[in-house]
Structure 1
Amino acid sequence: MDVEELEKKLVPRGEVSLIGCGRLGIRVAFDLLEVHRGGVKKLYVFDGAKIEENDIIHRKLGGLVGEYKVEFLKRFFGNRVEAYNVNIGKDNLHLIKGDVTIICIAGGDTIPITREIIKYCWKKGIKTIGTNGVFGLEENIKVEDAYYCKGPAELLKLEREGHIVVGTGKFIKDFEPITPYTLDEIAKKIVIECLRILRRL
């Protein structure tokens, strides 16, 4: 096969739902959509929040204060993104679709809705990836199955294996900051895990 034939085979494949487009979610979205010669064909993004002044990463990337985070992503990447300016809850789980769901929600107690999202996705045959703590300085970022890990993802109390988590394993009660470097590394590993799943389609 010549190079041109090989290039034709390296096309985007699969669809991903991204739940949450905050400081971590926006990094995951940009990294995932920047993949060349492969990657994701369609990204469905769910977040009801607008960009605020303290959303520095969004503003650095060109987002405007007052603009919906998901609309900014749509504006940047066009038809590769389907934007939903809603937060996923028990009443609208049916909006989630695709081959992989990445859960990047934060703020308050996210455990109950994260558990509901995972269970819904498993019922539909959708693979899931989430986080296991984003706090800490110069931490070793681990990729684990939530069923076996230590850290915040333990609180999900899942009945079986199959939910991949990426993170530091630290809790808010550890009183360590969330750095952009840690978020960058977590986003990178989430994207790699997602691409591994998509390659098997």
Structure 2
Amino acid sequence: MKKYQDHYFKRAKQENYPARSVYKLQEIEKRFNIFRSGQRVLDLGAAPGSWSLFAARKVGGKGHVLGVDLQTTETEFPDNVEFFHGDAFEQDGPFADRRAELAPFDLVISDMAPKTTGVKFADQARSLELCELARDVLPGVLVTGGHFVAKIFEGPDVKAYTDSLRPLFEKVKTFKPKSSRAESKEMFVVGLGFRGDAL
């Protein structure tokens, strides 16, 4: 088990990513082909920055990644990434202003997770709440035909959450990356083809 974990940790260091979480996004991309050159990407819960770095490489110089997190990061980002230290769901302020300027985005990705308490049902409930907040910003920021990825903790509310996305997207899938730790309760919900205009 430890060797398995160390493999991704060491690989992330070798490939200059700040965290092993990048490999989860790589697996999602391999399965669902969510990235295109030139896209605008909104990265919610972006610290320490692995997802933003990977997204920046996928969208290239003509694309743009806007990241935000309550935590700061020391990661050095390329020119096509902007990182804001703040609340992803604030209604006004520098991040909200910039988000409005760049919208609509082609892709919204969220690796947000609550600070875990060890109380399973409480952690699941707080994870669900973050996913619901991410879902609720989509009509204002995601382009018709765009895609959405959100991390959620496994639990009894996952089905209700995926069901709530079905009217919004052409397809809704769940995915558990191999690079997730075996004991981890995280999984990812992927919404493909945002209906936008149909809402």
**What TM-score, normalized to structure 1?**
0.40
**What TM-score, normalized to structure 2?**
0.41
Q: Which has the higher contact order (CA 8 A, sep 6+)?
A: 1
Greater strand percent: which structure? 2
